[in-house]
Amino acid sequence: VATIDGGTAESDNCVARLDLRHGVENSAQMSGAWHFPAGYLSAGEQPAPVLDPEGNAVEASVVLDEGEYVVVAVDMPKLRGNRRVVAMIHPRKAVDADGAPLLDARFSTNWRLRLLSSVVKALRERFADDVAMLVLPAGFFGYEGKVPVEARGDLVDTTIGRVLFYGIVPDQVPFHLVNRDLNKKALGELIDRCYRVAGAKQSVLFADALMQMGFTMANRAGISICIDDMKIPTKKGEILDRAFAEVRETEAQYNDGLITMGEKYNKVVDIWSKVTDEVSKELIREISTDLVKTPGGGTMQHASFNSIYMMVDSGARGSTTQIRQLAGMRGLMAKPDG
């Protein structure tokens, strides 16, 4: 079920409040809000009606009825002259001849992706860019339960995780402080801003909610570390071969009397220090991105979900020096006596 603030039609500062709820028992309409129900349909069951802010049923058009699902669309009041269409997807429950469920569609990834792809294509062909919101049953693509969302002004590119995170941030904090990679330093800046604009009480409540969300999401993510996360840089051999050649040249210069023992020592130390830094940078560069396949069959670089990289980049634990020693190279060693 999705509800959207009914006051957006005349608003110059378009504000939309969404309340996503799981289960028909919680589908009562919010006062003064549009009501868009979307749920799993049994055989012969029809989609629930859309309600306007006054509680009146709104005429909706069936865009698709493919047997596996029904798609219903509603024309919202125009906003500053622009058409707005809200579409709702109602999947049908798959049953056998005796009426027993064949498959819980919520757990069939291929089925969900195929359904959503065909629906989006059909909506684009019919409404172009006028589709303002697509409503699916809660839990259809992951998070179940209540997910408050507020968006002001223009549309921005963001992620589901940032939207969920913004739900616990005090209203006084602008969204752009959340719509970025939130590492340890960025979280510190966010809490500092929260304290300055929202006060001590809201900051404490936010910090508690942040801790609880961190534990919850870390548990859901199930992130762990394995040997495959420690990738040896592909250019490590090339870098080492070049370093050995430079060291041999330095030793030859010393043997020919061109440099002193002290100069030789300093040059060799400098060579291996530079090699260590170069291998370290190459390692971080490789684990910070992943090569993923695109729907068109090509490939593209994407931000990495390497567990070790996320741990270090977020500031949670470890450093680039420790990662370098794991998969790059140990680096220079000091004598036992110093």
Annotated domain spans of the chain: 1-153, 156-217, 227-328
Q: Tokens 């567990």, residue?
A: 307
Confidence grade of residue 320 (pLDDT, cut at 50, 70, 90): confident
Residue-wise pLDDT tens digits, 96-114:
566 655 555 445 666 777 7
Q: What is the DSSP string of 195-244?
A: HHHH-HHHHHHHHHHHHHHHHHHHHHHT----GGGSPPPTTHHHHHHHHH
Given 3.30.70.270, 3.30.43.10, 3.40.1280.10, 1.10.132.30, which CATH number is that of 227-328? 1.10.132.30
What is d(CA 119, CA 87) in angstroms, rounded to the nearest whole number?
Answer: 10
In this structure, of 201-215, 254-268, 309-323, the range with the lowest mean pLDDT score is 309-323
Whole-model pTM: value is: 0.51
What is d(CA 80, CA 90) in angstroms, rounded to the nearest whole number?
Answer: 30
Residue-wise pLDDT tens digits, 72-98:
888 887 766 778 788 888 887 766 566
Give the largest CA-CA distance in the chain: 97
Q: Tokens 């339960």, residue?
A: 145
Q: Are strands 57-58 and 61-65 parallel, antiparallel or unpaired?
A: unpaired
Phi, psi for residue 94 in degrees, rounded to 5 = -80, 125
In this structure, of 118-122, 130-134, 188-192, the range with the lowest mean pLDDT score is 130-134
Percent of the chain with pLDDT over 90: 24
Residue-wise pLDDT tens digits, 156-213:
677 778 888 988 999 899 888 998 889 999 999 999 999 999 999 999 999 999 999 9
Residues 150/16, Cβ–Cβ less than 8 Å: yes
Q: Which helix (H) or strand (E) holds 85?
A: strand 82-91
Indicate if the alpha-carbon torsion angle 73, 74, 75, 77 is positive or negative: negative
What is the model's pLDDT at position 328? 79
Residue-wise pLDDT tens digits, 198-255:
999 999 999 999 999 999 988 888 888 888 888 889 999 999 999 999 999 999 999 9
- Mean pLDDT over each residue of the chain, to the nearest integer: 78
Residue 7 has pLDDT above 60, yes or no: no
